[in-house]
Amino acid sequence: MAATILIVEDEPAIQELISYNLRNNGFIVACAGSAEQAKIMVNDVLPDLILLDWMLPGTNGIDFARYLRQGARTKVIPIIMLTARVDESDKVSGLEVGADDYVIKPFSPRELVARIKAVLRRRLPEASDEIVETGGLKLDPATHRVTVTDRADKSKLIEVNLGPTEFRLLHYLMTHTERVHTRGQLLDRVWGDHVFVEDRTVDVHIRRLRRALEDVGKDDLIQTVRGAGYRFSYQCEVDIP
Amino acid sequence: MAATILIVEDEPAIQELISYNLRNNGFIVACAGSAEQAKIMVNDVLPDLILLDWMLPGTNGIDFARYLRQGARTKVIPIIMLTARVDESDKVSGLEVGADDYVIKPFSPRELVARIKAVLRRRLPEASDEIVETGGLKLDPATHRVTVTDRADKSKLIEVNLGPTEFRLLHYLMTHTERVHTRGQLLDRVWGDHVFVEDRTVDVHIRRLRRALEDVGKDDLIQTVRGAGYRFSYQCEVDIP
DNA sequence: TGTATTTGTCACAATGTTGTAATGTTAGCT
DNA sequence: AGCTAACATTACAACATTGTGACAAATACA
Q: What is the largest CA-CA distance in chain A?
A: 82
Query: What is d(CA B120, CA A99) in angstroms, rounded to the nearest whole number?
Result: 28
Write down the pTM of the prediction.
0.81
Distance A154 CA to D9 C1' (A): 34
Chain A residues contacting B via beta carbons under 8 Å:
78, 88, 91-92, 95-96, 98, 100, 110-111, 114-115, 117-119, 121-123, 142-144, 156-159, 161, 163-164, 215-216
Contact B35, B60 (CB under 8 A): yes
Residue A203: is its pLDDT beyond 80?
Answer: yes
Would you state the pLDDT for residue B237?
47
- Domain A4-123, CATH number (from 3.40.1180.10, 3.30.1180.10, 3.60.150.10, 3.40.50.2300): 3.40.50.2300
Q: What is the dihedral of CA B36, B37, B43, B47, to 10 degrees?
A: -110
Give the distance from residue B187's alpha carbon to the nearest chain A alpha carbon, in angstroms.
Answer: 9
Q: Which residue has the higher pLDDT, A123 or B201?
A: B201
Chain B residues touching A111 at Cβ < 8 A:
196
Contact A26, A17 (CB under 8 A): no
For B115, B116, B119, B190, the CA distances from B111, given in Å and listed in that order, are: 6, 9, 12, 29
How do A180-181 and A229-232 pair as beta strands?
antiparallel
Would you state the pLDDT for residue A238?
45
Calculate the CA B154 to chain-centre distance: 30
Minimum CA–C1' distance nucleotide for B230: D18
CA torsion sign for B152, B130, B2, B109 is: negative
Contact A146, A162 (CB under 8 A): yes
Task: Give me the half-sphere count of Cα atoms (radius 13 Å) on the Cβ side of residue A90.
Answer: 16
Strand, coil or helix: what is B220? helix
φ and ψ of B94, to 5 deg: -60, -45
Minimum CA–C1' distance nucleotide for B211: D20
Query: What is d(CA B105, CA B111) in angstroms, rounded to the nearest whole number?
Result: 11
Q: Supply the mean pLDDT for chain A.
A: 83
Would you state the pLDDT for residue B39?
85
Query: What is d(CA B181, CA B174) in angstroms, rounded to the nearest whole number?
Result: 12
Would you state the pLDDT for residue A231?
93
Query: What is d(CA A144, CA B178) in angstroms, rounded to the nearest whole number?
Result: 9
Calculate the CA A76 to chain-centre distance: 15
Task: Give me the half-sphere count of Cα atoms (radius 13 Å) on the Cβ side of residue A137.
Answer: 32
Residue B158: is its pLDDT beyond 80?
Answer: yes
- Mean pLDDT of the region A116-129: 73
**Residues in a beta bridge with B6:** B30, B50
Q: Give the lowest-confidence range in A87-96, A157-166, A188-197.
A: A87-96
Of the candidates A98, A110, A159, the beta carbon closest to that of B237 is on A159
Q: Give the lowest-confidence range in A92-101, A108-117, B2-11, B98-107.
A: A92-101
Percent of chain A at pLDDT above 70?
86
Of the candidates B73, B179, B197, the beta carbon closest to that of A122 is on B73
CATH code for the domain defined by A132-232 = 1.10.10.10
DSSP state of B181: B
Query: What is d(CA A47, CA B125) in angstroms, rounded to the nearest whole number?
Result: 36
Domain ranges of chain A: 4-123, 132-232
DSSP state of B222: E
Would you state the pLDDT for residue A90?
57
Interchain proximity A122–B43, CB inside 8 Å: no
How do A222-225 and A180-181 pair as beta strands?
unpaired
User: What confidence tens digit (pLDDT) does each residue in B13-22 have?
Assistant: 989 999 999 9
Q: Supply the mean pLDDT for chain B.
A: 85
Interchain proximity A164–B196, CB inside 8 Å: no
Highest mean pLDDT among A155-159, A169-173, A225-229: A169-173
